[in-house]
Each structure stands twice: as C-alpha cells, then as structure tokens.
C-alpha cells in the first residue's frame, strides 16, 4: 500500500501540461487524511480542473470521515465492484495525482526503511486515482476525497523490492504522459483497458528514511 507521497513542486510544468490552474495550500508530503492537489474532468463542462482533495476516499454512504483511513488505496482489479469505490468508478470519477515521488517500505536490511520512487528522467509521475464527493451529515459541507489505484508489482524488477517479504507486491498505477488525458476522459470500459495495459516508466529509487518529526505526523494521520 502507498501511504505517503510528495505532490509535484514542478507546478508550472504540470499546469501547462494539463491546462489547469494549480492549487496551493497542501503539505509538502502527504499522508492519509491530508489534502493534496488532484486533476479531474468535468464531464458536463468537458474541461479539466485541479483542486485539493483529501487522501483517503470517503464513500457517499460513509457516516464520517474515518472511513477514509481504510480507503486510500484501491485495487485496480476489483475497484469497479467494491462498495467503497463502485460509485466513483461507474460515475467516471477518474482523477490524476501528479507527484515528484512516492514512498514505500523496503525490507532489504531486515526491517522497514522508507525508500523514495521517482521517474528516472526527473519529470513528475501521474498516478491514476478515483475521486468522490461526500456530504457531512450535520453541516452539509461537501468533502472531496480520492484513492490511488494500485496494480500487482510482483514481476516488476524495481517495485517488487518493496513491502514485507512474503506479501503481494503492489504499486500505484503510473500513467505515461500521453495517457493522462485519456484516463481523465475514459469510460469505465476504457478505464479498465488503460489499467490492464499499465506499464511503469523507468524509475529511480533510493533510501529516504522518514525524519523523526514526520514520523509523528504519519502516526497521527
């Protein structure tokens, strides 16, 4: 599971690539429950927009925000059928998360050490996501949230190094730049085809332990 990432700091590049105004006001590193910029398509207005959303998808039927602690990752193989993600999938609420790097635990030393994963060429990575609107029952406030879609990474020469020994290796869906627009405008059938054809770009990985101050933030998230 991916629980931590750095939203891109290459905001001018990302805004130009997608034709949107990039939002501000988010942490430099994001953990579940925190805000991050995502890009989505308004199918009514047929345009892209970027805004802040909470990391951890809150289904429309959830009673409170706490549901998002369990729904920040969605398996691409089953998201279309799972109650937490089914509405977003059928409503074509596909989103893009643009990051400079994401983080996974590596157990090469026998214990979990955080490593960072970034594009080998230094450009931002586009992660396929689902997004949802949830209305707070008492205040009627609308909360936007999202989940990363993930794929099996057992056969990937780099991404299979992460997570506990003996566990299935999973990775976010890393979309090439020429698929970003296709993903955001996809039908459910086309979206599944994009996920099934997923191939991660060349990656650069390195040990990047979480500083003590941020460990406390991660524990509280």
Q: Worst-scoring range by mean pLDDT, 31-35, 48-52, 213-217?
A: 213-217
121, 135 contact by CB (below 8 A): no
pLDDT at 204: 96
Which residue did the predictor score with more confidence, 43 or 126?
Answer: 126
102, 172 contact by CB (below 8 A): yes
Domains, the chain, ranges and CATH? 5-220 (3.90.1680.10)
99, 128 contact by CB (below 8 A): no
Kindly state the percentage of the chain with pLDDT values over 90: 85
Residue 89 has pLDDT above 60, yes or no: yes
- What does the alpha-carbon distance between residue 171 and residue 102 come to, in Å, rounded to a whole number? 10
Residue 43 has pLDDT above 90, yes or no: no
Mean pLDDT of the chain: 93
């Amino acid at each position: 599971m991916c629980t931590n990432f750095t939203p891109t700091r290459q905001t001018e590049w990302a805004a130009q690539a997608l034709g949107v105004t990039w939002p501000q006001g988010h942490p430099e590193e994001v953990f579940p429950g925190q805000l991050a910029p995502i890009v989505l398509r308004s199918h009514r207005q047929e345009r892209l927009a970027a805004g802040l959303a909470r990391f951890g998808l809150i289904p429309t039927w959830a009673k409170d925000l706490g549901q998002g602690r369990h729904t920040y990752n969605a398996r691409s193989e089953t998201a279309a059928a799972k109650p937490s993600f089914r509405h977003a999938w059928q409503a074509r609420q596909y989103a893009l998360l643009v990051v400079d790097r994401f983080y996974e635990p590596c157990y090469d030393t026998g214990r979990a050490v955080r490593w960072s994963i970034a594009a080998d060429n230094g450009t931002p990575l586009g992660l396929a996501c689902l997004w949802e609107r949830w209305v707070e029952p008492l205040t009627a406030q609308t909360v936007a949230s999202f989940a990363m879609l993930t794929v099996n990474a057992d056969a990937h020469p780099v991404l299979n190094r992460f997570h506990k020994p003996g566990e299935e290796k999973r990775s976010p869906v890393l979309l090439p730049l020429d698929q970003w627009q296709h993903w955001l405008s996809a039908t459910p059938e086309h979206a599944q085809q994009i996920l099934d054809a997923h191939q991660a770009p060349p990656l650069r990985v390195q040990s990047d332990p979480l500083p003590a101050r941020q460990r406390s933030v991660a524990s509280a998230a």
